[in-house]
Amino acid sequence: MRRILTIVLSLALVGALVAASASGEGDDGGSYEVRAYFDNAGFLVNGEEVRIAGATVGTVKEVTVSLPGEPVKRNGEEDPGKAVAVLDITDSGFKSFLSDASCLIRPQSLLGEKYVECEPTQPRAPETEPPPALQQIPDGEIGAGQYFLPIENNGKQVDLDLVNNITRQSEVERFRLILNDLGAGLAARGPDLAAVIRRANPALAETDKVLATLAEQNKQLAQLAVDSDEILTPLSEQRQHLAGFIRNAAIAGTASAERSGDIVAGFDEFPNALRELRSTMIALRGFAEQATPVAVNLRKAAPGLTDATRLLRPFSRAATLSLTNLGDNAQASQDDLAASSPVIRQLRKAGKKSIPGARNLNQLLMTLRRTGGIDYLTKFVLNASNSFNGFDGLGHFLLTQIQITNCVDYVTTPAVGCDGRWVQSGPTSALDLSGVDEKDIAKGVDERALERSDATANGTKDLLNFLMGSGG
């Protein structure tokens, strides 16, 4: 039972695959056949190639002639006996001929083989609306289901061997006979003959279109000629620069071609860059709004800045020499500067470590300057020195001498009636103290000592005032 179920499921799966493949063949849109009319389709046979821009897109399915009652021209008129070529377009990318499409029968080789060169639509400006698609021939008419391409859109290129044949003597005589015999008949069908010639030679048809376009734009062309003269005159004067620009553009194009992959990658990242740029531009707009007052003030100050710049010109010129000399000196002393690097690093360390002490010293000096402590300190030094050293009319003398030692003990013993004599070696003494009372000398010494004591007290008082003032 399980085996039977497996077989049934397998058959159902195969049937589904066949149906899918059949539906896939029908979904490709079927065949796209174009029914093109020509004045002449000589040597064009079934199976010849149909090309677009040099690429094969289909083949010629059928070559026949138009029948009575069959529309041939764009306005629906019939013209029996015209050549009809049914073009089977197999390339899915070109199954969309528009109403301005055209086909041309061209020689493929010197053996007489032909192929059909088609254009699905004519070139136009990017913003121009495209023409409608070819009309499909309705049911019940000749070529039903095919797409109608009128005779005005098509042509046939003259073979090169036919052009060369008219140079032969026999062909020249035949051509003359044809013109003589058919002259009367062609004289009454001039417009038809002109239309046939235009369709027979694509260059004439294209030239006619170009001339018609130029006739519609004659005023613009006249203005273009005037403007071109004005433009070409300076270009002719700068022709060497223009040639250089073209040469550099060629070099830039070559470099761009070599880095085409990077350029493509740059375009791929361009949307992300634009998104990032949007946020940047928003921030830049805010900056511009905030910088507007600054720019206004800068504009007002611009004349002053201009004057300052002009006045700084002599200074800049003079500084150029100084900077040059400074550079020369720096170059000459760079070895010494490099050798002094360890000392500079040590000085930097010492400077960092001396910051707290320097800060305290700065505060102390500022306090001394603010409170006048320097003056008090000098007075203290002066008064203190005067308290230890005396000076009178007799000269300098030492009032007190402090011995910093512990070897001996000092005991104060008053000496009464002590005097000092200075005797000069020789016949006479330097100072005669005869007749001076010893009490007067002692009294003078006591008065000097009292004055020194008062000065010391005053200096000590000033120092205390200074210390109290700085501390407060």
Q: Where are the domains of the chain?
A: 29-157, 163-216, 218-258, 263-339, 372-402+438-472
Residue predicted with more confidence, 344 or 6: 344
Single-letter amino acid, residue 181: D
Instruction: Give yes or no for residue 137 having a pLDDT over 90.
Output: yes
Percent of the chain past pLDDT 70, that is, above it, reads 70
CA distance 122 to 99: 9
- Which secondary-structure segment (H or E) carries 156? strand 154-156
Report for 114-128, 166-180, 205-219: range of highest mean pLDDT: 114-128
Q: What is the pLDDT of residue 10?
A: 47
Arithmetic mean of pLDDT, 251-270: 87
**How many Cβ atoms sit within 10 Å of the Cβ of residue 146?**
23
Distances (CA, A) of 9 to 2, 13, 17, 216, 437: 11, 6, 12, 72, 160
Instruction: Name the average pLDDT for the chain.
Output: 78
58-105 confidence digits (pLDDT tens): 999 999 999 999 999 999 999 999 999 999 999 988 999 999 999 999
Query: What are the DSSP E strand ranges found in 272-388?
Result: none
In terms of C-beta density within 10 A (0-12 exposed, 13-18 middle, 19 or more buried), how is residue 155 classed? Answer: buried
Q: What is the pLDDT of residue 19?
A: 40
Percent of the chain past pLDDT 90, that is, above it, reads 22
Instruction: Report the range of poorest mean pLDDT among 51-55, 137-141, 236-240, 251-255.
Output: 236-240
pLDDT band per the 50, 70, 90 thresholds, residue 457: low
Q: Confirm if 172 and 166 have CB atoms less than 8 A apart.
A: yes
Chain centroid to CA 424: 103
Q: What is the pLDDT of residue 99?
A: 93
Instruction: Give yes or no for residue 5 having a pLDDT over 60.
Output: no
401-442 confidence digits (pLDDT tens): 555 566 656 566 666 655 555 555 554 444 454 555 555 555
pLDDT band per the 50, 70, 90 thresholds, residue 34: very high
Q: Which residues of 365-397 are buried (b: 16+ CB within 10 A; e: fewer)?
A: eeebeebebeebeebbeebeebbeebeeeeeee
Arithmetic mean of pLDDT, 380-391: 73
Q: What is the pLDDT of residue 58?
A: 95
Residue predicted with more confidence, 450 or 7: 450
* φ/ψ of residue 38, rounded to 5: -135, 155
Arithmetic mean of pLDDT, 296-312: 88
Instruction: Give yes or no for residue 287 having a pLDDT over 80.
Output: yes
pLDDT band per the 50, 70, 90 thresholds, residue 136: very high
Q: What is the pLDDT of residue 317?
A: 85
Chain centroid to CA 294: 27
Q: What is the pLDDT of residue 471?
A: 44
CA distance 274 to 266: 12
User: Residues for the chain: how many in total?
Assistant: 472
Tokens of 365: 């000096």
CA distance 327 to 322: 8
Q: What is the pLDDT of residue 379?
A: 83
Handedness of CA 158, 178, 151, 114 (dihedral sign): negative
Token look-up 């003959």 returns 193
Residue predicted with more confidence, 381 or 79: 79
pLDDT band per the 50, 70, 90 thresholds, residue 447: low
